[in-house]
Every structure is written in structure tokens, then in C-alpha cells.
Chain A
Amino acid sequence: MSLDARVVCSRGSLEVDVALAAEPGEVIAILGPNGAGKSTILRCLAGLLPLEDGHVQLDNVDLDRPTADVFVRPEHRSIGFVFQNYLLFPSMTALENVAFGLRARGMSARQARSQAAAWIERVGLTDHAAHLPSALSGGQAQRIALARAMATEPRLLLLDEPLAALDAGTRSEVRRELQHHLRTFHGVRILVTHDPLDAYALADRVVVLQAGKVVQQGTLTDVTARPKSRYVADLVGVNLVKGTASFGVLTTPSGATVQTSDDVNGAAFALIQPRSIALYRSPPDGSPRNVWATTVTDIDPRSHRVRLDGPIPLIAEVTVAALDALALQAGDQLWASVKASEITIYPA
């Protein structure tokens, strides 16, 4: 069971153009900020939105290919969709919800009920089978939604922010369960999330999306080690500077330069760890370093992080002692310096 797709679709001002390929049994997480087009991609894969160009191919069969005038309606695709707010039918019991897809596909009422009951048992909610969705907690509703989507044994399972509607307390528990249930599923699984913890726990590979385009993909470890988007850099909490490198000197579009000790040329990213930034009241002397004149805009005393504005906007992490010694206040003029050897530079 493999998926091969290129989703081209515009939603308002957002132009989505994303190529996605999944090997049999692979779990892919689509990660990205709000409005990047994550849900749009899922809706296109499900057939709830038609493609404008590109294709969706599941097991070498076209489900959507506008150039060949092929479009398989969602009800005829072998998909399971777990929606962000679950969308359990409010007038049906949990059991009827799980049996819905089986009934819709023509299974007899009795057989559908017994299969649905088995699925509900698998997610551990047999006691709640007769309850209406309004009587279920968020975590229980999520499990019923998962059982409902998996009951028809689809070849492609789509999960749209499956944990976002849960409070922090239940989220880790439900995440563990989801991890367990997803492992028992053999088709392709695509998960949309904005939480790297979900991606880490549930996915083999992440695809980072920004403004409708893929900015990076790979294993979560690779992606976070060498972020290529502001979004991932912010998630990981590092400074990311984009520019053009020439013999290891990166020049930003605004003309600021970053000295590195690697010999990289062309479009590149420089990654600066907040810990590696040193702050001074007066210009530090000597040594081949990066020194920038900056202004303090914000201080977070809990994380000991200082937000600096200057030729390159930076976040610096200083020790408590340094924070006290400098007696920082917003508006203070400071010199920020980083050793060239502590900056990682890699091609964009």
C-alpha cells in the first residue's frame, strides 16, 4: 500500500503545491504553522477538495488526476479520516458511529454492529458503546473517532491534528494509545500536526510545510538538527540566519555578515545556538569573532533568554549570574558575540 501524490490546490491566497510519497506502512507527519495548507492536503487526499493539478495515486491507481479527468469521489476511496474535532455524529451512539462506515458500505446491521463492537473493545471503550458523543470525554471521543476511521479497514489513514483538541493532561496518554493503535494499522498513515512531540512519537518521517510548500523533509532528528525554516527553528529554539555564503562568510539580505569556520558557498543557513551567544556592555576586543551591536527588546527571566534586535535578530541564552551582572532592561544597548567555530552552516 503506497501513496504517491502531488497536491496542487489554492485556498484563498494560499497556493499549495506539495509532492508526497509514502512507502507501504509508512507514517508521515506533516508539520507546519497554522495556515500552511496542512489540512488542505488531507482534504485533497480524501477527495473532499478536488485537485487543480497534480495527482493522487494509491497503490498505483489514480484517485484524482485533473489532466486525465479522473476523480474518485471520497465515498469510493479506501480512506479513513480522523478529524481535528472528531465529528462524531451527535445523534448516534458510539457504537453506531463506529458501525456507520460498515453500514454505508452495505454490511448487514447485525454484522456491522458486532464488528463495531470489536473495534470499540480494541480501543477499550466497551462500557461507553451505548453513549452519545456528548457523554464522552475528549480522549474517549478521539478513540471512537479513530475506531470509526479504522473500522472500514482503509488503505490510507488521514489524521488531522488528532491530539490538538485534548488538554495537556490527557494528551500524552492518548498519544501513547494512538501510537499503539497506529502500529496495528498496515496502510499508509498521514498525520497533520503542529506539535513536534506528536511527530516524534507517531511518525517515521516529517514533512515541514510553509505557505503551501515543502521546506524540508526527513526524519525528525535530521530536520531539527538542521532546520531550514523559521518555524522549525522556533520549535527547536535556535537562531536561524538565511543568506548567501561565500567561503564560509554568510551575508544576509540586509547586508549583515556571519563568520563561520566551514567553507560553504551559495544559499545557506547559519544556525546559532542561543547558548553560544555572549553579551557585553562594551565592545569586546580581539579574536576572530562575530560581533553585532544590538538592542534588548525582551527578557524572559525563567528561560534566561534575551531577545535582541540588531543587524541580525537573535535570541541569546545567558546564565543567571550573567543576567544579574548585566542588570538588563529592555532598550539596553549590548554587544553580542559568537565564535565562528560555534556556528553551524549548511546549504539551503
Chain B
Amino acid sequence: MPRQNRWRRPISQRPPWPAVVIAAVGIAFFALAFMGLLWKVPWASAWHVLSAAGSRKALRLSLVCSVWATVLAMFFGVPIAWLLARLDFPGRGIARALCTLSMVLPPVVAGIALFYALGRRGILGQYLDRWFGITLPFTTAGVVVAQTFVAMPFLILTVEAAFRQQDLQYEDAARTLGASRWYLFRRVTLPAIRPGLIAGGVLAWARALGEFGATITFAGNFPGRTQTMPLAIYLAAETNPEEALVLSLVLVAVSFGVLVALRDRYLQSRSTPAL
């Protein structure tokens, strides 16, 4: 069967050159953008900018808020993903669209929507204010809410795919061994979806770290309280371009570092036993 053999041949033998050329141009496009940044960074004044209290606050706020947003996205997103993947309920398609809508919307729209939902006069916000004295807009908590809102869909989609790919026979095996639902989820399901969970977490975190539109609309731009890195960079770009460049470089470095560090972990999955 020579025909079958031809298809079975490893593709690494002869990389198709059009794909290689197009991919190389694409990679160059990414690299070029960051080279532009590196090229313009005022290295001499970099340390001065970084040691300024304002930029350190912005960086810390960004990290703290994005980590919280990731934790919240996981807390709510994993059960949502499980429901979407495993339960066949009426309106599942609508539920999925709703849960991923904020990923597609312009972030400013997300911010406005949040404002009229959770703001002082919002449908839920007015009661939060009246009954509990909680106000979310223009607070650090508001930043976390805005970031969670736009970042969670990335986690939901990735984890839902992981749930769908999971071999349910292992759950059967666990049940015959006496595992309760929670024990089974913790010991069998979670390890199986771990790569998807990490990938989804990283995507959500990255989205939260870079979040701008929803944050500035819903939480405003108060240094030390709601001014995250993207906001500080945007502001600096108008008044002090050098500072904007240095802060951008920091954001790029942090993000790149995390992506590289996690790359091996989240792309590799533990293989199923070879039988």
C-alpha cells in the first residue's frame, strides 16, 4: 500500500517552503514591534522612571489585581466550563455565548455595562450600596471585577475544551472504586484537565494584566487605587513618552517571562498509559 505509506511519512522531512516563509514573516512582524520598543527605550533614565513611586505602585496594582482576577476566573470559570462541557441543558448555547460575550466586545462596552449593573445606580449596584455600603466603581475591587469580566471567557473556553477531551472512562473506574463526586473531581478530573487549566489560567491572567478599556470606564484612573500599568502607560504616553516606553518595556518583560516560564508546563500533558 504505497499510497498509505506516503501519508504516514513524517512531515519533518521536507518543510513546505511557502508555510515556512509566511510563518517567518509573521514572526518577524511580532518581533519587529518589540524591537521598536527596545530601540526607543531611554535606557539612561530607565532606572529613574522605575524607581519613581508612581510607576512602582502601578506595577504592583497590576500584578495584584490580575492575580486576583485569575483566581476569581478560575473559581467561577471551572464550574461554568464543567457545566457547558458535561451537562446537556436547554439554552446551553445561549449560556456559552453569554459567558464568552465579554471576550468579543470592545472592553469599553464591557466597562459601561458593568457600570450600569454594579455602579451606584446600577441594577445590582444600588442595593449593594444601600444594604451593604459596598461601592465597586472607582475602587481596587472594581478593577478586579472589570478584569475578571473580560478575562474569564478565556479560561472558560480553554477549560471547557479540556473537559470535553477528557476520557470519561477514568471517572467510571474511580466510581467503581468508591470515589465520591468531589473526591473523583479532585483526584481524577483535575489532574486530567491540568494542562488546560494552566493554559486557561495563563490566558486569563495575560488578558487581565493588559486590560485597559473596561478598567478605565468602570474603575477610573486613580493612581495607587485603580491606575494599573496599561492606564499609567496610556497617561504617560500623552505627557511623558519616555516614561511610557520604560513602563511598556516592564510590562512586556513580565508578560514574556511568564509565558516562557509556563510554556513547557502548559503545552505538555501527561500521557495516558501506553497499552
Contact = CB atoms under 8 A, between A and B. Distances in A.
Interface of A: 43, 46-48, 73-77, 79-81, 83, 85-92, 100-101, 103-105, 132-134, 136, 138, 141, 148-149, 152, 165
A141 B178 contact: no
A105 B178 contact: yes
Interface stretch (B58-66, B80-88, B129-137, B166-174): B166-174
B191 interface: yes
A57 B272 CA distance: 35
Nearest to B169: A87
Contacts of A92: 187
A48 B175 contact: yes
Interface string B95-117: 00000000000000000000000
B180 A75 contact: yes
Categorize the interface residue count of chain B.
Answer: 20 to 34
Contact of A75 (B169, B179, B192, B271): B179
A83 B169 CA distance: 9
B176 A85 contact: no
Nearest to B179: A104
Contacts of A100: 174, 177, 179, 187
A85 B177 CA distance: 16
Contacts of B9: none
B273 A134 contact: yes
A152 B178 contact: yes
B274 interface: yes
B273 A81 contact: no
Contacts, number: 85
Contacts of A105: 178
B270 A90 contact: yes
A87 B178 contact: no
A244 to B, nearest CB: 45
Given A48-B172, A87-B173, 8 more contacts: A74-B175, A80-B176, A85-B169, A87-B170, A100-B177, A101-B178, A104-B178, A136-B273
A81 B176 contact: yes
Contacts of A133: 273
A60 B174 CA distance: 25
A100 B183 CA distance: 10
A134 B274 contact: yes
B52 interface: no
B176 A89 contact: no
A90 B176 contact: no
B49 interface: no
Given A91-B191, A91-B270, A104-B180, A86 B175 contact: no
Interface string B188-219: 10011010000000000000000000000000
B190 to A, nearest CB: 9
Contacts of A90: 192, 270-273
B275 A141 contact: yes
A343 B170 CA distance: 50
A152 B184 CA distance: 16
A120 B209 CA distance: 49
A75 B170 CA distance: 13
B273 A101 contact: no
Given A90-B270, A104-B183, A79 B170 contact: no
Interface string B240-275: 000000000000000000000000000000111111
29 contacts: A43-B172, A48-B175, A74-B175, A75-B176, A75-B184, A76-B178, A79-B176, A81-B172, A83-B172, A86-B275, A87-B173, A89-B170, A90-B192, A90-B270, A91-B191, A100-B177, A103-B183, A104-B183, A104-B184, A104-B187, A105-B178, A132-B273, A134-B272, A134-B274, A141-B273, A148-B177, A149-B176, A149-B177, A165-B275
